[in-house]
């Protein structure tokens, strides 16, 4: 063990008692000296250039130092709390305003010396700083050690102040600074003119200038991305070397016939993707491909073409969807798409017969005899395509010859489902794997999360679509207008969705709210229309029936919870009204909106909100809604989402967005990014990826890179163990 891996309570840093160490572990996840040194400051205060209050200009970002002259704390309109701290330095006064943080008053009694940084504003004739201000108390307790220079502000926690953490980091650097190893290969470091890691960490915490800090951060960000990409590169290369797949023989006749039987012409993007996938299916190594395509771009057709190609070579396909509703829809769609091909199923005596394509459905609510039938069909090979939810990867499901696994809307699944589905075969050979996702994944994130996959992109929409118009409804007039719009559209034979407010963590409360909304809408709002209801707590048979009636045009307005969020396809629906839209995440809204605008008709999405979007605590909600009104481009929205939410966890729950869909497991947090920003460091990511692949190709087992190896192990834990085996 390296000295730098000493637990914090044993590191003998002044003031860092076991009790303090416990608080830092609990609140910040910092356990070792290494963790402490990698605890990047969240901001900096430049005390070397602080300004006199009398010289401040409105609109500038500035740092001032002074003493608290007056503190005023008061609730506003009963719901919000405003704390105003007046700071003076002899040349004038400035008011620092904090919203909803009454506790901060405790640390700033009159007379306290403060350094404050933020944007200077004028409110009612007085100087003010509000919004994101940074405040540091410069007391007797050592703030002074670091005055007169750029000081780091570290994220603090209950019982441990930023001031204390700064001093701990300072001592840790003095004591352990010589013990910081270099994970970047020499050549990489030289090519990019990066400072050594120890130097970079020092400059990250205590820079002489902002340029020096940025240089240090860039190096650490690059290193972080490089390590990640080395892991992915090693995995991909090993997989290519060792995995044995199924070479699905090269007859495309059935695929051609399928494409010819469609009621529309496949887009060029669909044809291109289908042929990319075909090539992979024919190759002897297992396919490992991600299909990215905007909502409505027609991924299902591509999936079915792939399944047909696999079936022609005698393989079964497992097609996994994230929700029951979607699995059922896929089941119906696939059956419908295959109807014209009846009689052309590959004849293989004892397994598949010429008259029928064996399409089966398996979800956790299918029980008894139908369940047994689906399981038998999977096991004896008579199911050509088994469609289902994550029930497909549970115990008791086995295939006779699983040749292709398709996972739809992968962003709702975690990584381990991918792996489990692959394990569902008794053969030595691995099935081909196709992962499909609508794009709430920006390219940077895709490379980071799925850097070991090949990628196909459906970058073209079927012709004749009009982008959905999106309207924000904040007032009664707009709401009345949207009800009229729904009536008009229905009068023209169209259909509408009303999406109920999200009730997080409780499907039963959500179901109840949906029932109430349904009563209100069917009786009070649209007494003359045929209103339907669907939510997650309904019996599957009821859900199915509702979906069927909607499909058959027997429902005009469908009141729904987010069960319809993903994948649901009713090309005749042209209006969607989302209630309390401010509660939804951006990728969720984008997915929801993707349910309309799927046919030729012009569609409108109304985002209803009752919240006061001007309130500071609603800032992110307001930005999300503005983004939705501003663009329908999924890539752009995904990027905006990252910007709005900040970086946060990349390997976290179901990855992007606030989804809590079934089968989205919480995952280890160690792989979250500490230094890199997926918004800012796009270029670095590309470079890191290139360097990583080159490095792995020249030293596949990383034999000559022990520090890099242990860095990988720290970041990925057991998940990379296979890398070092054998
Ligand atoms: P997604 O990519 O969101 O899963 P779907 O596969 O559900 O999209 O397709 C959306 C709709 O577009 C479906 O109604 C489908 O039948 C239709 N569609 C797919 N491909 C085409 C095409 N080439 N031309 C016209 N409509 C198409
Ligand atoms: Mg889909």
List, in sequence order, every residue forming a beta bridge with 62; answer none if it has no partner: 118
Per-residue pLDDT tens over the stretch 309-351: 999 888 999 999 888 878 888 998 898 898 888 766 555 543 4
Ligand that comes closest to the CA of residue 266:
1
Assign 71 to helix, strand or coil.
Answer: strand
Per this entry, what is the length of the chain?
726
Of 39-43, 414-418, 701-705, minimum mean pLDDT range: 414-418
Mean pLDDT, residues 214-240 taken together: 89
Q: Is the CB of 329 under 6 A from ligand 1?
A: no
Q: Whose CA is nearest to atom 10 of ligand 1?
A: 296
- Residue 641 and residue 628 in contact, taking contact as beta carbons nearer than 8 Å: no
Tell me the angle at which helices 268-282 and 253-261 cross, rounded to the nearest 10 degrees: 160
pTM over 0.75? The answer is no
Ligand that comes closest to the CA of residue 300:
1
- Report pLDDT for 608: 94
Evaluate if residue 413 carries a pLDDT over 60. no
**Phi/psi class of residue 343: alpha, beta or left (left: φ > 0; alpha: ψ in -120 to 50)?**
left
Q: Which of 92, 84, 90, 87 is nearest to 56 (CA)?
A: 92
Burial call 544-561: b when 16+ CB within 10 Å, e when fewer: bebbeebeeeebbbbbbb
Q: Is the CB of 266 under 6 A from ligand 1?
A: yes
- Report pLDDT for 138: 75
Q: Is the CB of 598 under 6 A from ligand 1?
A: yes
Evaluate if residue 89 carries a pLDDT over 70. yes
How wide is the angle at C-alpha 218 spanned by C-alphas 217 and 224, nearest 5°? 90
Q: What are phi and psi of 415, to 5 degrees?
A: -65, -35
- Report pLDDT for 649: 40
- Residue 7 and residue 32 in contact, taking contact as beta carbons nearer than 8 Å: yes
Per-residue pLDDT tens over the stretch 105-158: 888 899 998 888 888 988 888 999 876 677 777 765 444 545 567 888 888 888
- Report pLDDT for 415: 44
The rounded Å distance from CA 437 to ligand 2 centre is 8
The rounded Å distance from CA 439 to ligand 2 centre is 11
Rg of the chain taking only CA atoms, in angstroms: 29
Start-end of H helices in 454-533: 476-491, 507-520
- The residue written with tokens 């809307």 in the block is 409
Between the alpha carbon of residue 272 and those of residues 241, 276, 402, 440, the distances in Å are: 26, 6, 25, 22
- The residue written with tokens 């699944």 in the block is 413
The rounded Å distance from CA 671 to ligand 2 centre is 29
Residues 6+ apart with CB under 8 A from 19: none
Evaluate if residue 658 carries a pLDDT over 80. no
Q: Whose CA is nearest to atom 20 of ligand 1?
A: 298
Q: Is the CB of 532 under 6 A from ligand 1?
A: no
Q: Whose CA is nearest to atom 16 of ligand 1?
A: 298
- Residue 116 and residue 134 in contact, taking contact as beta carbons nearer than 8 Å: yes
Q: Is the CB of 597 under 6 A from ligand 1?
A: no
Q: What are phi and psi of 44, to 5 degrees?
A: -135, 155
Q: Is the CB of 569 under 6 A from ligand 1?
A: yes
Mean pLDDT, residues 458-476 taken together: 87
List, in sequence order, every residue forming a beta bridge with 361; answer none if it has no partner: 387
Ligand that comes closest to the CA of residue 302:
1
- Report pLDDT for 388: 93
Domains of the chain: 46-141 (2.40.50.140), 211-243+671-723 (no CATH), 253-282+297-437 (3.40.50.300), 469-631 (3.40.50.300)
Residues 6+ apart with CB under 8 A from 565: 323, 588, 591, 592
Decide which of 461 and 627 is more confident.
627
- Report pLDDT for 290: 86
Evaluate if residue 18 carries a pLDDT over 50. yes
Both tokens assigned to 566 = 């993903």
Ligand that comes closest to the CA of residue 325:
2
Q: Whose CA is nearest to atom 26 of ligand 1?
A: 462
Q: Whose CA is nearest to atom 19 of ligand 1?
A: 298
How wide is the angle at C-alpha 618 spanned by C-alphas 615 and 620, nearest 5°? 140
Assign 206 to helix, strand or coil.
Answer: coil
The rounded Å distance from CA 319 to ligand 2 centre is 12
- The residue written with tokens 């008692």 in the block is 17
Mean pLDDT of the chain: 83
* pLDDT category of residue 414 using cuts at 50, 70 and 90: very low
- Residue 161 and residue 171 in contact, taking contact as beta carbons nearer than 8 Å: no
- Residue 224 and residue 675 in contact, taking contact as beta carbons nearer than 8 Å: yes
- Report pLDDT for 442: 57
Nearest atom within ligand 1 for CA of residue 333: 16
Mean pLDDT, residues 402-429 taken together: 63
Q: Ligand 1, from 269, 387, 462: best to mutate by most atoms within 8 Å of Cβ?
A: 462
- Residue 575 and residue 598 in contact, taking contact as beta carbons nearer than 8 Å: no
Ligand that comes closest to the CA of residue 299:
1
Q: Is the CB of 634 under 6 A from ligand 1?
A: no
The rounded Å distance from CA 556 to ligand 1 centre is 22
Q: What are phi and psi of 571, to 5 degrees?
A: -60, -15
Ligand that comes closest to the CA of residue 292:
1
Both tokens assigned to 153 = 């502000």
- Residue 386 and residue 318 in contact, taking contact as beta carbons nearer than 8 Å: yes
Decide which of 716 and 493 is more confident.
493
Q: How far apart are CA 726 and CA 718, in angstroms?
A: 15
The rounded Å distance from CA 494 to ligand 2 centre is 21
Q: Whose CA is nearest to atom 5 of ligand 1?
A: 298
Of 171-180, 199-208, 634-643, 699-708, minimum mean pLDDT range: 634-643
Q: Is the CB of 297 under 6 A from ligand 1?
A: yes
Q: Is the CB of 330 under 6 A from ligand 1?
A: no
Torsion, Cα 121 144 163 5, to 10 degrees, reads 130
The rounded Å distance from CA 298 to ligand 1 centre is 3
Q: Which of 237, 288, 195 is nearest to 702 (CA)?
A: 237
Q: How many other CB atoms sit within 10 Å of the CB of residue 463?
A: 9
Between the alpha carbon of residue 228 and those of residues 64, 417, 524, 708, the distances in Å are: 40, 21, 56, 11
Q: How far apart are CA 182 and CA 223, in angstroms?
A: 10
Residues 6+ apart with CB under 8 A from 131: 118, 119, 616
Residue 122, H or E segment: strand 113-123
Q: Is the CB of 293 under 6 A from ligand 1?
A: yes
Q: How many other CB atoms sit within 10 Å of the CB of residue 527?
A: 9
Ligand that comes closest to the CA of residue 598:
1
107, burial (CB in 10 Å: exposed 0-12, middle 13-18, buried 19+): middle
Residues 6+ apart with CB under 8 A from 542: none
Q: Is the CB of 301 under 6 A from ligand 1?
A: yes
Q: Is the CB of 267 under 6 A from ligand 1?
A: yes
The rounded Å distance from CA 5 to ligand 2 centre is 47
- Residue 100 and residue 87 in contact, taking contact as beta carbons nearer than 8 Å: no
- The residue written with tokens 């990511």 in the block is 685
Mean pLDDT, residues 353-359 taken together: 64
The rounded Å distance from CA 232 to ligand 2 centre is 27
Per-residue pLDDT tens over the stretch 555-582: 999 999 887 766 678 889 999 999 999 9
- Report pLDDT for 351: 42
Per-residue pLDDT tens over the stretch 185-208: 999 999 999 999 999 999 999 999
Q: How far apart are CA 55 and CA 61, in angstroms?
A: 12
Of 175-184, 566-575, 664-673, 711-720, minimum mean pLDDT range: 664-673
Residue 576, H or E segment: strand 573-578
The rounded Å distance from CA 424 to ligand 1 centre is 29
Q: How far apart are CA 270 and CA 288, in angstroms?
A: 18
Residue 300, H or E segment: helix 299-312
Assign 96 to helix, strand or coil.
Answer: strand
Mean pLDDT, residues 511-519 taken together: 89
Long-range (24+ apart) CB contacts under 8 A made by 487-491 are 487/526, 487/529, 489/574, 489/575, 490/529, 490/556, 490/557
- Tell me, letter by letter, the H, E, C secondary structure of 402-420: EEEEEECCHHHCCHHHHHH
How much of the chain is in helix, strand and coil states, percent to nearest 5?
A: 45, 20, 40
Q: Whose CA is nearest to atom 23 of ligand 1?
A: 266
Mean pLDDT, residues 455-482 taken together: 88
Mean pLDDT, residues 209-233 taken together: 91
Q: Is the CB of 409 under 6 A from ligand 1?
A: no
Per-residue pLDDT tens over the stretch 22-64: 999 998 999 999 999 999 998 888 877 788 999 999 888 788 8
Both tokens assigned to 552 = 């058959």
- Report pLDDT for 650: 41
Q: How many other CB atoms sit within 10 Å of the CB of residue 571?
A: 15
- Report pLDDT for 170: 93
Q: How far apart are CA 331 and CA 249, in angstroms?
A: 26
Nearest atom within ligand 1 for CA of residue 464: 25
Per-residue pLDDT tens over the stretch 253-293: 889 999 999 999 999 999 999 999 999 999 988 888 888 88
The rounded Å distance from CA 199 to ligand 2 centre is 49
Q: Whose CA is nearest to atom 18 of ligand 1?
A: 298
């Amino acid at each position: 063990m390296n000295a730098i891996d000493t637990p914090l309570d044993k590191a003998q840093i002044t003031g860092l008692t076991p009790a303090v160490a416990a608080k830092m572990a609990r609140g910040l996840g910092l356990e070792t000296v290494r963790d402490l040194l990698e605890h990047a400051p969240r901001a900096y205060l430049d005390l070397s250039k602080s300004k006199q209050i009398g010289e401040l200009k409105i609109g500038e970002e500035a740092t001032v130092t002074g003493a608290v002259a007056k503190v005023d704390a008061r609730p506003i309109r009963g719901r919000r709390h405003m704390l105003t701290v007046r700071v003076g330095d002899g040349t004038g006064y400035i008011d620092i305003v904090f919203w909803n943080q009454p506790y901060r008053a405790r640390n700033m009694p009159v007379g306290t010396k403060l350094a404050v940084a933020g944007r200077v504003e004028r409110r009612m004739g007085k100087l003010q700083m509000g919004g994101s201000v940074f405040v540091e108390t410069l007391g007797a307790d050592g703030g002074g050690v670091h005055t007169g220079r750029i000081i780091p502000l570290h994220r603090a926690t209950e019982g441990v102040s930023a001031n204390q953490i700064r001093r701990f980091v300072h001592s840790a650097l003095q004591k352990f600074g010589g013990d910081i190893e270099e994970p970047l290969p020499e050549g990489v470091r030289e090519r990019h003119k990066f400072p050594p890691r120890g130097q970079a960490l020092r400059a990250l915490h205590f820079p002489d200038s902002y340029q020096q800090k940025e240089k240090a951060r860039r190096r650490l960000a690059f290193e972080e991305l490089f390590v990640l990409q080395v892991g992915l590169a090693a995995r991909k290369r090993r997989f290519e070397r060792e995995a044995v797949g199924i070479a699905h023989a090269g007859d495309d006749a059935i695929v051609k016939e399928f494409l010819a039987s469609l009621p529309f012409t496949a887009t060029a993007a669909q044809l291109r993707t289908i042929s990319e996938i075909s090539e992979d299916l024919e190759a002897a190594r297992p396919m490992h491909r991600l299909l990215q395509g905007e909502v409505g771009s027609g991924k299902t057709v591509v999936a079915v073409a792939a399944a047909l190609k696999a079936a022609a070579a005698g393989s079964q396909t497992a097609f996994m969807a994230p929700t029951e509703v979607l699995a059922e829809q896929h089941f119906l769609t696939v059956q419908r798409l295959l109807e014209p091909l009846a009689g052309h199923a590959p004849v293989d005596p004892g397994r598949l017969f010429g008259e029928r394509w064996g399409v089966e459905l398996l979800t956790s609510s299918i029980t008894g005899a139908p369940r047994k039938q689906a399981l038998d069909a999977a096991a004896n090979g008579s199911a050509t395509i088994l469609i289902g939810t994550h029930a497909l990867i549970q115990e008791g499901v086995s295939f006779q010859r699983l040749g292709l696994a398709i996972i739809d809307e992968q962003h709702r699944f975690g990584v381990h489902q991918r792996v489990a589905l692959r394990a569902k075969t008794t053969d030595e050979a691995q099935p081909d794997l196709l992962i499909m996702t609508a794009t709430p994944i920006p390219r940077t994130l895709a490379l980071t999360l799925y850097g070991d996959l090949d990628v196909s992109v459906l970058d073209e929409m079927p012709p004749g679509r009009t982008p959905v118009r999106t309207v924000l409804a904040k007032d009664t007039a707009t709401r009345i207008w949207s009800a009229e719009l729904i009536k008009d559209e229905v009068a023209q034979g169209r259909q509408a969705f009303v999406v109920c407010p999200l009730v997080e963590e409780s499907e039963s409360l959500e179901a109840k709210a949906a029932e109430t909304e349904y009563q209100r809408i069917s009786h009070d709002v649209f007494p003359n229309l045929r209103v339907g209801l669907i939510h997650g707590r309904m019996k599957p048979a009821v859900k199915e029936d509702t979906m069927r009636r909607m499909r058959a045009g027997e429902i005009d307005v469908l009141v729904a919870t987010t069960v319809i969020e993903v994948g649901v396809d009713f090309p005749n629906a042209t209006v969607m009204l989302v209630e309390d839209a401010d509660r939804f995440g951006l990728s969720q809204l984008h997915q929801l909106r993707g349910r309309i605008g799927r046919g030729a008709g012009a569609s409108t999405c109304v985002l209803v909100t009752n919240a006061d979007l001007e309130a500071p605590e609603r800032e992110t909600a307001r930005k999300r809604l503005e983004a939705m009104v501003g663009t329908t481009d999924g890539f752009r929205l995904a990027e905006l989402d990252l910007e709005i939410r900040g970086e946060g966890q990349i390997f976290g729950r179901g990855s992007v967005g606030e989804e809590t869909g079934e089968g989205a497991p919480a995952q280890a947090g160690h792989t979250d990014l500490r230094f890199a920003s997926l918004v800012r460091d796009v270029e670095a990511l590309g470079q890191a990826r290139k360097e990583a692949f080159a490095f792995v190709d020249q030293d596949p087992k990383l034999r000559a890179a022990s520090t890099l190896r242990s860095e990988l192990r720290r970041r990925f834990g057991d998940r990379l163990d296979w890398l070092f085996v054998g």
